Amino acid sequence: MEKPYSVAIIGAGQIVKIHLEAIRKTDRSRVTAIADLVESRAREWAAEHGATAYTDYRDMVLKEKPDIVIINLPHFLHRPAAIWCAEQGCHVLLEKPMALNAAECMEIIEAGKRNGVLIAIGHMQQFFAEHVAAKALIQSGELGELVEISDRRCGAYFRESRPEWFLDKERSGGGVVINLGSHSIDRIQWMTGSRIVKVKAKLTHYGQRGNVEGSGSLFMETSEGVPVHATIGGYDNAPENETVLLFTKGTLRIRQRKELLLSKGGAYEPVPVPKLADPFIGQWTALLDAVEHGTELTISGEYGLSVLEVVEAAYRSHETGTEQPVLSTSATNSKIKPQACAWEN
Ligand SMILES: NC(=O)c1ccc[n+]([C@@H]2O[C@H](COP(=O)([O-])OP(=O)(O)OC[C@H]3O[C@@H](n4cnc5c(N)ncnc54)[C@H](O)[C@@H]3O)[C@@H](O)[C@H]2O)c1
């Protein structure tokens, strides 16, 4: 590598700080420009990182010609921004959820292919230390057969500090299911190396603001035939973030960012979790490795699409009141190569 990769950031809202920190802590890339419609946001972060501020991201990309862009925009802008940046020859790290629906994801994937650039999706939970350790334990086979998974993610979704667009279905694609549920779907698929293939979902819409769902109860099944129950709650509920995997020879309990516990029939015992870099650094490093060395990208556009297909099936299920298949080519391929990289660099 002759010079660090140049990076331009599109959208300087709530999540931008963590991406900027991740880039600052690696020496393989540098932020050259930051764009936000709200000029003061772009200026504040640009000043702190020695970058140039813009209000128009197209203007920024045309002038700065970055190697990579990070897109942190409201969900309805993911598709147009990612496609346009791919057309300019930039690799793209696009925040999750990949887009509003599967059709939009396909358009983004096609744009990446057409232009020979990588599309990575911000499924950064694959880089949580306790998820990496749990995946290794699952793969070792020492826990026997996986028989059931339950996943809970609850927290005050309708809080004052949440930007308005998140609560407007047209701009966000939905509420807790598309936004928080996409993390649950990702961690279940990634840790087990499977795909969700069926969903029966019941949602509720009791939020005091906006028109998006505030809870989702998802009964699902993986490509290996394992039943999964995911609860996503956004009302005034106790904060919870937990995945429990039941095996024939034990139970794994993950409390995200806190601990990994294992029972082999008795009380839960903590499992030592090797320390890893911050997940946003892990995610960024994975993208740089894929760009530079062509290594497998487990957070590829195809993978992001597989998550959106489950979200879409959940919304269809709620509307029809029936179980829905996940309409996916990735599901049928998952047993062959569950984390296939879409890109050959
Ligand atoms: N990985 C995670 O855990 C995680 C956490 C939070 C948010 N996110 C995702 O990150 C993305 C951004 O979320 P956020 O919480 O930062 O939202 P936000 O509303 O705080 O930030 C979005 C920013 O985009 C700017 N913007 C809107 N339209 C623009 C345009 N046309 N050009 C330039 N800037 C424009 C807004 O002014 C705002 O500053 C979403 O996809 C969200 O789901 C991911």
Q: Is 15 in the pocket of ligand 1 (CB under 6 A)?
A: yes
CATH of 125-271+279-333, picked from 3.30.360.10, 3.40.50.720, 1.20.1440.230, 3.20.20.190, is 3.30.360.10
319: exposed, middle or buried (C-beta count within 10 Å: 0-12, 13-18, 19+)? exposed
The predicted-structure confidence for 251-291, as pLDDT tens digits, reads as follows 999 999 999 999 999 999 999 999 999 999 999 999 999 99
Binned at pLDDT 50, 70 and 90, residue 328 comes out as confident
Q: Look up the pTM and report it.
A: 0.94
Q: Is 38 in the pocket of ligand 1 (CB under 6 A)?
A: yes
The predicted-structure confidence for 89-122, as pLDDT tens digits, reads as follows 999 999 999 999 999 999 999 999 999 999 999 9
Cβ partners under 8 Å of residue 181, min gap 6: 153, 216, 218, 230, 232, 311, 314
Binned at pLDDT 50, 70 and 90, residue 327 comes out as confident
Q: Is 36 in the pocket of ligand 1 (CB under 6 A)?
A: yes
Bridge-based pairing state of the strands 227-233 and 146-154: parallel
Protein residue with least CA distance to atom 15, ligand 1: 14
Angle among Cα 71, 119, 46 to the nearest 5 degrees reads 30
Edge-to-edge strand order for the sheet containing 52-54?
52-54, 29-35, 5-10, 68-71, 91-94, 119-121
Task: Output DSSP code: residue 11.
Answer: -
Nearest CA-CA partner of 234 in 159, 127, 297, 317: 159
Write down the CATH number for the domain with range 5-121: 3.40.50.720
The predicted-structure confidence for 47-77, as pLDDT tens digits, reads as follows 999 999 999 999 999 999 999 999 999 999 9
Number of the ligand 1 atom closest to the C-alpha atom of 75: 41
Protein residue with least CA distance to atom 9, ligand 1: 95
Q: Is 297 in the pocket of ligand 1 (CB under 6 A)?
A: no
CA–centroid distance, 139 to ligand 1, in Å, is 35
The predicted-structure confidence for 115-156, as pLDDT tens digits, reads as follows 999 999 999 999 999 999 999 999 999 999 999 999 999 999
Q: 2, 61 in Cβ contact below 8 A?
A: no
CA–centroid distance, 247 to ligand 1, in Å, is 38
Q: Is 14 in the pocket of ligand 1 (CB under 6 A)?
A: yes
Residues in the chain: 345
Mean residue pLDDT across the chain = 94
Nearest CA-CA partner of 112 in 315, 318, 304: 304
Q: Domain locations in the chain?
A: 5-121, 125-271+279-333
Percent of the chain clearing pLDDT 70 (strictly above): 94
CA–centroid distance, 166 to ligand 1, in Å, is 9
CA–centroid distance, 267 to ligand 1, in Å, is 42
Q: Is 75 in the pocket of ligand 1 (CB under 6 A)?
A: yes
The predicted-structure confidence for 10-48, as pLDDT tens digits, reads as follows 999 999 999 999 999 999 999 999 999 999 999 999 999
